[in-house]
Chains A and B, each alone.
Chain A
Amino acid sequence: MRVPTQRIEVTLETLLESVDLAEDITLRVANAVGFDEEQGYRIGMSVREAVINAYTYGNNQDRARLIFLVFELLPAQMVIHVRDQGRGFRLEDVPDPLAEENLLKTSGRGLFLIRAFMDELDVTIPQSGGAEVIMTKRYPTARPSSPAGASKV
């Protein structure tokens, strides 16, 4: 059964607390649309990492800037957008954390974890500026067909 698209938008301040808040919201949404605990953990961590990037690198911890978190509940998949108000970056410019010379670096693993945990990952630079991390997770086959679950978020 086809489920009408639903959209949830959250605007976050550039605060450390927003990282936990974004993850918590994500866990609730993931649970409501039928992801199990393990998948929820992976989706939650992916959003956490994207928001950490937005907080740290995109918005440079500048509280005057915002972080935009959007969940699109499509019929077959959930698409999550995390956009900051920084200068933007290109995915292909991000160093590979598995490369020998990067293995002992203390940062640079966030996008790698998102790629490992989600089905698709892309980064765009929207016209409005900043970086927009777009990640997709297909629903488990046993996803409830009614959107009612999402309304519990």
Chain B
Amino acid sequence: MDLKATNRDIGSATVVDISGRITLGEGSAALRNLVRQLLDLGRKQIVLNLADVQYIDSSGIGELVSSFTTVKKEGGELKLLNLTKKIHDLLLITKLFTVFDVYTDEQKAVSSFTS
């Protein structure tokens, strides 16, 4: 299943509910475009809800990193919410778990933004 995403604005934050696969090709490109569109709209406090992402490969991990740094460069913040066990484990072994701000509670993720 290709990547699908739905945005929900909660105050100044945008929660993006993502489902499908973030892999080399369309999945990674879709995530890149999605983040770009949000930044272009001035939405710089982004929470990626990954609860329904069944699969991610190294390209998908790379795209998460790219999204994180792109948002940060534009003065925003990108947080991750509801990692599946597989994604959690991948971020652990790649040492990225400490790089990303990861939440299991949407309210806490939304209220965590600094401004």
Contacts and interface: CB of A to CB of B under 8 A. Distances in A.
B11 interface: no
Interface centre among A41, A110, A112 (most CB of B within 10 A): A110
B59 A52 contact: yes
Contacts of A113: 58, 90, 93-94
A45 interface: yes
B96 A41 contact: no
Interface in B24-72: 24-25, 57-59, 61-63, 65-66, 68-69
B88 interface: no
A109 B58 contact: yes
A101 to B, nearest CB: 12
- What is the predominant secondary structure among interface residues of chain B facing chain A? helix
A149 interface: no
Interface in B7-31: 23-25
Contact of B65 (A16, A49, A105, A112): A105
B27 to A, nearest CB: 11
A107 B96 contact: no
Nearest to A97: B94
A44 to B, nearest CB: 10
Contacts of B68: 104
A105 B62 CA distance: 7
Contacts of B66: 106
Contacts of A52: 24, 57-59
A52 B25 CA distance: 10
A109 B24 contact: no
Given A52-B58, A109-B58, A113-B58, A104 B65 contact: yes
11 contacts: A41-B86, A56-B24, A97-B94, A103-B95, A105-B62, A106-B63, A106-B65, A106-B66, A107-B58, A107-B59, A109-B58
Interface of A: 16, 19, 41, 45, 48-49, 52, 56, 97-98, 103-107, 109-110, 112-113, 116
Given A52-B58, A103-B95, 20 more contacts: A16-B24, A19-B23, A19-B24, A52-B59, A98-B94, A98-B95, A103-B96, A104-B65, A104-B68, A105-B65, A107-B59, A109-B58, A109-B61, A109-B62, A109-B94, A113-B58, A113-B90, A113-B93, A113-B94, A116-B93
Interface of B: 23-25, 57-59, 61-63, 65-66, 68-69, 86, 90, 93-96, 99
